Structure 1
Amino acid sequence: MKIAIDQDRCRGHGFCWTICPEVFDLNDDGYAEVRTEDVPAEFTDAVRSAANSCPERAIEVG
């Protein structure tokens, strides 16, 4: 699974980081960043939950 964050859509709500801090991080401005584009299998469900919880739909899962 690969993921990316659309920085034009992210508004820094931080739900993704709260749900899966192993994969997501917040930069100094409070916007989400991906720690790794290739998600380990054990975090697949958490990443999908984070993507579904993003109010801006800024997380692209593929």
Structure 2
Amino acid sequence: MRITIDQDKCIASGQCVAAASDVFDQRDEDGIAILVNDDPPAEDAADVHHAAAVCPALAILVED
């Protein structure tokens, strides 16, 4: 699985962190999403896809 965050599009809503906190976090200074695990285990795939789907800015791209 390849996960990409377009940080220019991110609006710091935190929905990705709520959906998959083992994979996403937010920078302290501005809340922009970051990857904390760019190679999550297969059992986290559904959560990662959910995080991408609920991102209000559509800033997360997941390629299987």
Q: What TM-score do you get using the length of structure 2 for normalisation?
A: 0.91
Q: What letter matches 1:20 in structure 2?
A: A
Deviations 1:16-50 (A, max 9, x none): 00111000011111111011222211110000000
Identity in percent: 45
Segments of structure 1 that go 5 or more residues without pairing to the other structure are: none
Secondary structure of 1:18 counterpart:
helix
Single out whichever of 32-41 and 17-26 deviates more from structure 2.
Answer: 32-41
Q: Cα offset for 1:54?
A: 0.4
C-alpha RMSD of matched pairs (Å): 0.8
Alignment of 1:1-62 (within 5 A): 1-28=1-28, 29-62=30-63
Q: Which consecutive segments of 4 or more residues in structure 1 shift more than 4 A? A: none
Number of aligned positions between the proteins: 62
Unaligned runs of 5+ in 2: none
